[in-house]
Amino acid sequence: MTKKRQKSKIPVPKAERVSLPDVVATPPSPQVTQKDAHPHENLDRASRAAVAYMSAGVSPHAFIAAWSDWAVHLARSPGRQLELAERAHENMAKLVGQAIAPKSETAPAFAPKPYDHRFRHPGWKTPPFKAMQQGFLAVQDWWDYATDHMRGLRAEDADRTRFMARQFLDLWSPSNFPALNPEIIEETRKSRGRNLVDGARNFTHDVVTTVAQIHEPAPDGYKVGEDLACTPGEVVFRNDLFELIQYAPKTENVQSEPVLIVPAWIMKYYILDLSPQNSMVKYLVEQGFTVFMISWCNPTASQADLSLEDYRKRGVIAALDAVNAIVPERKVHAVGYCLGGTILAIAAATMARDKDDRLASISLMATQVDFAEAGELLLFLDESQIAFLEDMMWEKGYLDRPQMARAFSTIRSEDLIYSRAVRRYFLGKQDVPTDMGVWVSDTTRMPARMHSEYLRGLFLENRLTAGRFAVEGRVIALKDISAPIFAVGTETDHIAPWKSIYKTQLFTDSDLTFVLTSGGHNSGIVNPPEPERGHHRVSHRPAGALYIGPDAWFAQNAPQPGSWWPAWKAWLGERSSGRSAPPPMGAPKSGLVPLVPAPGTYVHQI
């Protein structure tokens, strides 16, 4: 048998060895940072970049194609057209019936979506404003129905068409017009027009700061390093990509295994170290953990060539090496948040492949490893859209902060754009500062090469869970990970939907605890035990257990009141080997000496 197998090995000609696109971490794509191409190509890219700046980074081709696909399929579907006509007739009948019914029997025929706060003022329940509100919601209901999925219509185009219809409708909502909004009329009467003067001042200020790209300082009481990101510690390692913060112990003894946190580099790290009452770092330190935090740099044009591999090797792995030098002969509890969790999962799978067992556990918070159901961010992503973004980044070397902020805001434009605009420009009110609000406005840039690799390799082609993502020329698999996993999803997350995060169980075989908590992408994660708020569901899947779908899982696990942090703390404790004296700050013998106090210098980069 052995001889036959040896004889059957036929050398493959070099010309036929063309499987490399399936085993590279970065799929072949136009170089987003090179400017030495043919002048005609550079002209094309420059012209597309100019259009991209005017369209806020949104590809016109992608949306024109979506409208065309929807319109063609609707035109050849007479049954669907009849359905839409009937829906319009039903909605009109509801509005007329509501208008002529006695006042005591006029329950609203249409209700705003749960996240839509534009019609909360009591004046919207009185005529004539109630009729305008109900008319707008009736039209919105019809368009939601009209842009639902149709047979033959690409689901992506249906969702994209619905998104565009919603954006157009939101622009013409009666709440946006002073003469049609009862809250603005009431405030104008009370203040004798002062609100409009203050609103004009706010509008002028916002236009100037947006056009001039002015980075405003944090308001009093929310200074980074004083009020936020103020947990004591030292920067013990620094390279061009990140600073590593080691936090000072607050207990006599600590858990022997340290915690290394890998935050996302889309924003600053201190979402996990906000004001003291909302700081996850402070909570962990007070519970007796030695905590290390990566603080990523804010890339400039000179760092346009930073790659996804740089963030893994010179980021996560370099930080892990430093932690091992400070706390030797101990495994590490690795924690990743959002995009930081994705690169941590990639690093962990690579370590498992290479027989590197330095991880005691892996905690993934609001982290996707499979991007097939990546939420409304997928509306912005196809080949045309990514090429458009690459052309924007080609000119500057990075994706600038306004493009990132606009993409996230338009997903919830009702609240994040229009409600805020009405409050600032027509009611004349200032934004009430909060620790999370200050963090949200402290945006960062994305290096061109890394962002292109991330969008293409993970979002567009979903290579990580398709078995086609390779590191250093060799494919990695999440199922190779043997360390226990703690995965957290949030119920109303529109960036990383919880069902997408739940699919971590589908691609891993190790011991896994899954938590679903109330709140959104940020508020669900930043959920301290005091004051008690919200709820969470938690379950444990032993290594090798059968898979249960998300809907069945949800039905089987009842909500528990309060924060998920205590459950996580207990989980980490159970996977630690006991307590010992706190490690020193840094490791001078290894060249890791304290450089500057926390929060370091990179967090202040503008």
Nearest to 306 by CA among 449, 471, 453: 449
> Distance between CA atoms of 285 and 282, rounded to whole angstroms?
5
230 is catalytic: no
> Distance between CA atoms of 451 and 406, rounded to whole angstroms?
17
Pairing of strands 242-247, 259-262: unpaired
Q: Report whether 230 contacts 565 (CB < 8 A).
A: no
The CA–CA distances, whole Å, from 589 to 449, 453, 567, 592 equal 36, 37, 37, 7
Alpha helices in 114-244 (DSSP H): 129-146, 155-171, 182-191, 194-211
> Distance between CA atoms of 602 and 606, rounded to whole angstroms?
9
Out of 338, 369, 476, 488, which one is annotated catalytic?
338
> Distance between CA atoms of 404 and 399, rounded to whole angstroms?
7
Is the omega angle on the peptide bond into residue 531 within 30 degrees of 0, that is, cis? yes
CA 208 to chain centre: 28
Query: Letter for the amino acid at 280?
Result: M
The CA–CA distances, whole Å, from 136 to 7, 47, 107, 175, 428 equal 75, 38, 16, 10, 25
Contacts 24+ apart (CB under 8 A), 113-121: 113/414, 115/412, 115/414, 115/415, 115/492, 116/414, 116/415, 117/414, 117/415, 117/419, 118/173, 118/175, 118/414, 118/415, 118/418, 118/419, 118/422, 119/175, 121/182, 121/183, 121/186
> Distance between CA atoms of 153 and 520, rounded to whole angstroms?
31
For residue 410, what are its two tokens? 């338009």
Length of the chain in terms of residues written: 606
Burial degree of 59 (CB within 10 A; 0-12, 13-18, 19+) = buried
Question: Which residues are tagged catalytic?
Answer: 338
